[in-house]
Each structure stands twice: as C-alpha cells, then as structure tokens.
Amino acid sequence: HEADAYRTDLMTITRFVLNEQSKYPESRGDFTILLSNIVLGCKFVCSAVNKGEEQKKLDVLSNDVFVKALVSSGRTSVLVSEEDEEATFVESSKRGKYCVVFDPLDGSSNIDCGVSIGTIFGIYTMEHSDEPTIEDVLKPGNEMVAAGYCMYGSSCMLVLSTGTGVHGFTLDPSLGEFILTHPDIKIPNKGNIYSVNEGNAQNWDGPTTKYVERCKYPKDGSPAKSLRYVGSMVADVHRTLLYGGIFLYPADKKSPNGKLRVLYEVFPMAFLMEQAGGQAFTGKKRALDLVPKKIHERSPIFLGSYDDVEEIKALYAAEE
C-alpha cells in the first residue's frame, strides 16, 4: 500500500516548477509554459536520437523544433541558437518576457557513433517592454534566471536549476513525462577525475599545463587523478556534477578564447555548477561575470568541484 502511495505521487517537472513558481506570487505560469515548450523540444530530440536519425539531419531538425516551440509558446522575445548566425526576434504579437539562449544539439560529432549528446539552454528575462534588441541577450551569466541541459544517453535526463538548487528529471517513456529522480544535486567538494582533451596539450598555457601535470604526477603523494573525456560537453559536465572532479576546455595558442560558447555552453553549465555548490572560472574571472559582446563568442572554462577549481585559480593568479 505504502509503495502504491509513493508511486501515485508523480513529481513531474511541470508540477515541480509550479511548486517553485508558487514562491513568486507575481508569476502567472509564464515560466511553466516556457519550460513545457523546452521539455517538448527535448522529448522530440530524445525520440529522434533513439530512432537513430543521422547527424546532419538531427542538427537542423533539433534547432527547428526548439525555435518553433519557443516562438509558439508566446513567452519569448529573443532567441539565440548555436545553429543560427543571427538572433531570432519574435514578432510582436507572440512576444513574451523571456529570452532563451540554447545549443540544440551539443556533442553532435558523437551522434553517428551512439555516444551521449545533449541540449543546453539558459533563460534571461526582458527588463523592459520596448522593442527587443540584441542587448537583451548580451548580458552576464549572473543575470540568468534559469539554466539546464538534457542528456540523450542510455536514459533521457533533464537537469534544471531555477536558482533554488539543481534537480534531475528522468524521462519515463511510458508516461512521456520527466519525473524527479535526483532532487537537490550537490557536487562533491573535491573529486579525483579530470576531464580535458589532452590532444591540445602542446598548445596549452603555463597554468593549464602545470595543473594537468599535477593531476597526473601529484607532488603531495596523493593518488593520480583519472582522466575521463567523452567529447560531449553535456556528458562530461553531467558526470562531473554527479561524481565530482573538474572539466576543462582551456585556451590554447590556436584558439585564445578556447572553443566553448559563452551564452549557451559556458553560462548554463556555470550556473548549474554554482547552484550545486561547485564553481566555474575562465582563467581570468568567475565565468558568470563575463559580459559577452557577441552572441557566439567563446571563453576558456574550468568548472566542477569547488576545491579543484580553487587549485587552478591559484595557478592563474600566480601567473598574473
């Protein structure tokens, strides 16, 4: 009987967010409608990935689904997608108070070999009711009101924060609902995994080189760290969030700003890491304090367990 009572108390992502939003008396369910359209996009991509859609098609399909779902939600004004050179300005009759930046398909080079890929998104609110401009999305990550990712792997899991901690929801295909499975995720303060593409080692700067050296040949007699690198940011960050450790995409001589994009890769993951008790650093400053000048600009990123990121911050500080 007890088990049945538990089974019937379905904490879907919609119900969870409605609970969260009830703390904001002025909210009239706009965020819940926005989120339900992001969830729709994730369910579409999840089913397309499981049908084995090939990469090229999936990159375009997923972008189209998210743009259409977000525009038709009537809750957005500006959209930025990794797949669209220019921002999308929603026509006035359909405008809402949110701006969404997203990577519809992250890790797309991994699609054709079946390795986990994902969708990453961040949400800003419009601070004025005039015509929307590009300035409404060229804001520091510390002004984001929510962020999350969906990982399409052995199971489909959506990890979300609306500023009150990080929560994981697993898609139950029989219900077509994301059910809360990982409430209040906290990243361990220290981990024993480092995650970086060592193939770029010859181009790294001093502090990154020193830090990775320490991971492999610890001076203080502690055990060497394990290297885990999937090559999909969503998969590497999800493992870091649950197991602890550090994920690095450093600058290198060829790409002085690294590879990952500020608005829809660095900011959402940095937001989640801080909400889970970890941190995110660019080599110069707190990642969320970056102020992007262009919608597709890049930044180096070091994120994960609080103590592990402190170590690389000390190495960059010594370099100043």
Q: Interface with Mn ion by CB under 5 A: which residues?
A: 82, 103, 105-106
Q: Which does 298 bind (CB under 5 to 8 A by kind): Mn ion, ligand AHG, none?
A: none
- Quick check: 233 binds ligand AHG (CB under 6 A)? yes
Q: Which stretch binds ligand AHG (CB under 6 A): 13-21, 48-56, 229-237, 293-301?
A: 229-237
Q: Is 300 in the site for ligand AHG (CB under 6 A)?
A: no
CA–CA distance, 98 with 95 (Å, rounded to integer): 9
DSSP H helical segments within the chain, as ranges? 2-7, 13-21, 30-50, 55-72, 206-216, 233-243, 267-275, 306-319
- Residue that is written with structure tokens 């970056």 in the block: 290
107 touching ligand AHG, by CB under 6 A: yes
Candidates 48, 30, 38; CA nearest to 79 is: 38
Binding flag, residue 197, ligand AHG (CB under 6 A): yes
Q: Which stretch binds ligand AHG (CB under 6 A): 4-12, 32-40, 99-107, 276-284?
A: 99-107
- From the CB of 304, what's the least distance to ligand AHG, in Å? 13
Q: Which part of the chain contacts ligand AHG (CB under 6 A), choosing from 15-23, 44-52, 70-78, 105-113? A: 105-113
Q: Does 177 bind ligand AHG (CB under 6 A)?
A: no
Q: Coil, strand or helix: which one is 170?
A: strand
Among 44, 231, 255, 297, binds ligand AHG (CB under 6 A): 231
Q: How far is CA 194 from CA 11, 37, 87, 93, 312, in A?
A: 34, 35, 34, 48, 12
State the residue number with the nearest CB to Mn ion: 106
The smaller minimum CB distance to ligand AHG, of residues 108 and 305, is found at 108
Block residue for tokens 């590009």:
134
Give the DSSP H or E segment for 119: strand 117-125
Q: Give me 143's structure tokens.
A: 């002004």
Enumerate binding residues for ligand AHG (CB under 6 A): 82, 103, 106-109, 197, 231-233, 259
